[in-house]
Structure 1
Amino acid sequence: MLDVKNNRIPEGVRHIHLIAICGTAMGALAALLQERGFRVTGSDQNVYPPMSTFLARKGIGVASGFRPERILEDRPDLVVVGNAVRRDNPEAQALAESGIAFCSLPQALNHFLVGKRRAIVIAGTHGKTTTSSLMAWVLEKAGLSPGFMIGGIVKDFDANCRIGDGPYVVLEGDEYDTAFFDKGSKFLHFSPFRAILTGVEFDHADIFADLGAVERAFGGFLRRLPEDGLLVSCADSPSAEKILKEAGLDEKKVQRFGREGGAEGWSVGEVSIESPVERFSVFRDGAFFARMETRIPGEHNRMNILSVCAVAHSLGISSEKIAEAVAGFSGVKRRQERVGEAGGVVVMDDFAHHPTAVKETLKALRPHAGGRLIAVFEPRTNTSMRRVFQRAYAESFDGADLICVRKIPHPEKVAEGERFSSEELGQDLLRRGCAARVFDDAGAIVAFLSETALPGDLVLVMSNGGFENIHTRLLEAFESRGQALSGIFNA
C-alpha cells in the first residue's frame, strides 16, 4: 500500500516517470514536463493515435507494458500515477515498496503548470474539450499566451498542453476519479478563477452510483470558486441549476448562457448555415454582442461558444477579438474531425459515446451531409458498455439514415446482468423505423459499407478508442472501390 507521506512533490526533481503515460491528459503532462526541462519517462500498453504519434513527435519514448524495474532500478525522483492505473499494477506495487515520492495528474498540474497563475477551468458532462480548446485559442489570439492542459489535441496548437507565459491557465476539469489512492474527482484539486459549467448529466457509471452522486461531485467543484471568481453556467441544464442553488453561490458571481434569450445572460439568435460555415448572433442580457462565424457545427457548439464569450468578456477581451478567434478556430482532433474523403464518401471521427452526445452530434452534422448520414457506433466506454443507457441510446440515432453498431469489444469487463447489448439496441432501432445493423467487429462494418456507402454520403464514426483503425480502413476500401469502378468504365 502506498504511504501517504510520500504523496508529495519534493524539491530538486529531475527525473519524472509517468505510469499510464498514453492517456490523453497524461500524455499532455509528459510533454509539458519535458518542455520544463525534466527528464521524462513513461510506460503504458494498448497505445493508439493520436496520443502515440503526439508523444513520438515530442521525442518521448513509451515503454511497452508495466515492469517493476522501471521504479526499483531506474529510481525516478517522482512518479505520476495515472487514474487508469490499478493498485495491482506491477509498477504501482514497486512504487509502494520503493518509498519514492508520487502524485496524481491534477496534483502535478497544479504544481508544474498553474503555480501562482489564475486557472480557467471548464467542467461539465459534455463539451469540455471543445470549450477548453476554444477558450485557450481566444486567449492566444488576444495576446495573452495562455498555458493549458486539454483532453484532446487542439488543431490550432497541434498540442493538448502548453506552459505559456501569460497570466491564465486553461484546464479541462474532469469529474472522473483522480487515482486509485484518491477517489475524489480530478477537478476538486483546482481552484478556478473562472469556471464554465457546460451542463450536468449522469455519466461514468463505473464510479458514480447515480445522478445524485454526480451532482454532489460538481457541487464540490463549485464551492472551490474564490471570492473574486466567476461561474458561467448552462441555464438549460436542470442539474446545473440544482447544483447552483444547493451550493449557495452569490448570484453576482454567476452568469448563465442558454438557448432561450432573455433580459439576463448569454443567448443565440439569427442562425444561418451554409456548409461548412455556420453563422449566428450572440446576445448579452438581451443586447446584441457580436456576429459569429464558425466551422464547428451544431447547437451544442453554439452553446460552447457562448460560454467562452462570457468568460473572455469578463477578462476584458473585445467582442471583435472574440469573433475573430472563433472564426479562425479549427477545432479538436476526434471532435467532428473530417478524417478524409475517398470515392466521394466523407469519413468523420467523433468521441461521442454518451446518448446526448450521440444525438447532438448527429443533429449538428445533418445539415452538412451532402447525401446520407451514416452513423458507426462502438460502445466502448465504461458507461456505454453498461445497460444504464440501453433505452436512451435507442432514441439517440434518429438523425442518421443508416446505423452500424459494433458489439461491445470487451464484454468480459462487465457482468452479464449489467452489460449493454448491441443486439438489443439494433432491435430497438428497427422498431423505431431506423435502418440499423449490428456487427461483430470493425472489419465486418468496413466490408458492409464498402458495398453500401454512396458518393455524397457522410460516415460518422463514434468511439473513444482506436476502433481497430476503422477510419483508415474505410477510406482505403472506398478508394479501392472507386478505382475498380473507374477501371470498369474506362475499359
Structure 2
Amino acid sequence: MSEISSARKIHFISIGGSVMHNLAIELHLKGFIITGSDDEIYEPSVSRLVKYELLPAMTGWFPEKITSDLEAVILGMHARQDNPELAKARELGIKIYSYPEYIFEQSENKQRVVIAGSHGKTTITSMILHALKFNNRIFNYLVGAQIEGFDNMVKLSNEAPLIVIEGDEYFTSPIDLTPKFMHYQPHIALISGIAWDHFNVFPTWELYVKQFESLADSLPKAGAIIFDETDDMLDVIGQKERPDVISTPYNVHPNKIVDGKTILITSELGEVPILVFGDHNMKNISGAHAVCERIGLTDEEFYNAIRTFKGASKRMELLGKNSDTLVYRDFAHAPSKVGATTSALKEQFPERTLVAVAELHTFSSLNKEFLKQYRRKLNAADIAVVYFNPLTIEHKKLEALTEEDIRTAFKRDNLEIFTDSSKLADFLKTQDWENSNLLLMSSGTFGDMDLKELVEEVLKLG
C-alpha cells in the first residue's frame, strides 16, 4: 500500500452511518480530503463529524459534489439505488466502494480476523481489542460501538500486521446484496451464535443460516473457525469437515459469583475477578480468548487484560447505582438478546427484584408474525415491561399492534405494556426501588425519554 498524500480525495455517500462516519474520520486523520452527503444524520454522528469539520453543510444529495478529481466514492447502505450522487459517480467512471470493500483493500496484506454472529460480536470484538491494546500490540480494527480507551471505531494504519473486524451478515450496499462479512475474506472467523432476528432481510431461517455457512466455507487453507458449540445449528456448521481449516469450539468459561461479582476460574492464573457478568459474557470471554490465543497472546496476557474490561457502549452498561439499586442499559433488540440479558442480571443478583423494560423498535420486533419469537423471554424478570411507539409502526408501514398481541406473544399475563414514554417513566418512578435493579433494553430511545433524569429519580427512591 502506498503512503497517503493530502491530495487524495474521497466522497462518502451516506456519511452519517455508524461505520461510515468513523471511516471518514479515520481517513481525514490520515490526510485524505473528505467530503460527504446524507439525507439524515443523527447523534452521535453529528457531533463527531462537527468535531472534525466533516459535517455536510446541508442534508440531501448533491451530484455537483461528485467531481472527476475524486479518487473514490464510498457508498453506504442507507443510500438508495437511484441516488443521484451514485449516478454521477458512475457517469464519471469514479471507483465506487462499499465500506467493506474499502476496508478489505486497505488490509489485503494483513492477517484478517472477522467476528460474526447474531449476538455478542460487538462485545467479543471489544474484548479482543482491549486485550491487544492492554498488551501494547499494533493492530487495526473495525468495531460497531464506542469502546473505552478508543477514540474511533475504525483504525487503518500501514504498519499494523493484523486487523480485527466486527462483520455482520447484512447487505453490503444498495447495489451489492452480498453479506458484508464475505468481503473481508478472513483468515480467522469467529461465529458467536445464530438467532434469526431480521426476517425482513432474510425471510427464512434456512436462508439466514446459509450466510454463516458461506462465511465458514470461505475460509482459506490454514484458516481457522472458532464457534459457540452450545448453539445447535452453529455446532453443525463448525464441525463440518473443511480440508486444512482448524475448527475450535468454545463454551461458557468456568466461573463463580460471589456477592454479585463474577470471578473466572482458570487453570493458568487461578481466580480472575472481572467486571462483566452473565453466561452470554462468559461465552464471549471464551471466544475472545480462543481468538487471542491464535493471534499470539499468552493466557497470562489475555487474563490480565480481561480483568479491566468494562464492556462496549450500551452493552450491559451501568447507568447508575447506589447501595440498593443498579440501573443498566443494554442494546438488546432481538428476542435471544432480551432473554439472555434479563436472565443474566437476575442470576447475578438473585435476591433483588428485577424490573426489566424492553422496547420493541426494530422492523422484526414490531411485526405481528415475528413477535412470537419473544415467547417467555422476560420470564426471569420479577416485573416485566414492554414499550412500543405506535408512530414507529406507522413509519415502518406495519400492521398495528394491540396490547393483547404483545401479551400473547410474550406469554406473560402480568406484562406491563406502554405506548406513551411519559407514562412509562411515571410507572418506573413510582416503583419501590429498595433492593431492586432496573434493566432498560432497546436499540431505540424509549420515545426520547430522558434516561439521565429517570436514573436520578430511580436512585433517589432506592
State the Cα distance separating 1:203 from its structure 2 match. 2.6
Residues 91 and 156 of structure 1: CA distance in aligned 2, closer, same or farther (over 3 Å): same
2:448 maps to what in 1?
Answer: 469
State the Cα distance separating 1:366 from its structure 2 match. 1.7
**Contact 2:171–2:180 (CA under 8 A) maintained in structure 1:** yes
Tell me the distance in 2 between the aligned counterparts of 1:292 and 1:364: 19
**Count of residues paired in the alignment:** 456
State the Cα distance separating 1:95 from its structure 2 match. 4.1
1:7 maps to what in 2?
Answer: none
Task: Describe the superposition over 1:464-483 as per-residue Cα deviations: whole angstroms up to 9, x where unpaired.
Answer: 1334432xx24324546888
1:410 maps to what in 2?
Answer: 392
**Contact 2:256–2:265 (CA under 8 A) maintained in structure 1:** yes
Select between 95-104 and 311-320 the one with higher mean Cα deviation. Answer: 95-104
1:280 aligns with 2:264: yes
Out of 385, 389, 394, the residue aligned to residue 370 of structure 2 is 389
1:448 aligns with 2:427: yes
More helix by share: 1
2:32 maps to what in 1?
Answer: 38
1:200 maps to what in 2?
Answer: 194
Out of 137, 151, 159, the residue aligned to residue 130 of structure 2 is 137
1:314 aligns with 2:308: no
2:453 maps to a residue whose letter is E
SS for the counterpart of 2:55 is coil
1:121 aligns with 2:107: no
1:147 maps to what in 2?
Answer: 140
1:299 aligns with 2:292: no
1:36 maps to a residue whose letter is K
1:257 aligns with 2:242: no
2:452 maps to a residue whose letter is L
**Contact 1:346–1:456 (CA under 8 A) maintained in structure 2:** no
1:263 maps to what in 2?
Answer: none
**Aligned positions of 1:156-195 closer than 5 A:** 156-163=149-156, 165-195=159-189
1:323 aligns with 2:303: yes
Q: Percent identity?
A: 27
2:436 maps to what in 1?
Answer: 457
Select between 229-238 and 82-91 the one with higher mean Cα deviation. Answer: 82-91
Task: Describe the superposition over 1:218-270 as per-residue Cα deviations: whole angstroms up to 9, x where unpaired.
Answer: 12211221212111111111211222355x324761111124xxxxxxxx324
Tell me the distance in 2 between the aligned counterparts of 1:295 and 1:443: 33
Out of 439, 462, 469, the residue aligned to residue 418 of structure 2 is 439
Residues 93 and 206 of structure 1: CA distance in aligned 2, closer, same or farther (over 3 Å): farther
Give the TM-score normalised by structure 1: 0.83
Tell me the distance in 2 between the aligned counterparts of 1:389 and 1:142: 44
1:60 maps to what in 2?
Answer: 54
Tell me the distance in 2 between the aligned counterparts of 1:120 and 1:333: 21
Residues 376 and 236 of structure 1: CA distance in aligned 2, closer, same or farther (over 3 Å): same
1:272 maps to a residue whose letter is I
SS for the counterpart of 2:143 is strand
Structure 2, unpaired ranges of 5+: none
RMSD, aligned α-carbons: 3.1
State the Cα distance separating 1:186 from its structure 2 match. 0.3
1:355 aligns with 2:335: yes
State the Cα distance separating 1:325 from its structure 2 match. 0.8
**Contact 1:375–1:403 (CA under 8 A) maintained in structure 2:** yes
SS for the counterpart of 1:106 is helix
1:265 maps to what in 2?
Answer: none
Tell me the distance in 2 between the aligned counterparts of 1:47 and 1:397: 33
**Contact 1:13–1:78 (CA under 8 A) maintained in structure 2:** no
1:71 aligns with 2:71: no
1:3 maps to what in 2?
Answer: none
2:175 maps to a residue whose letter is F
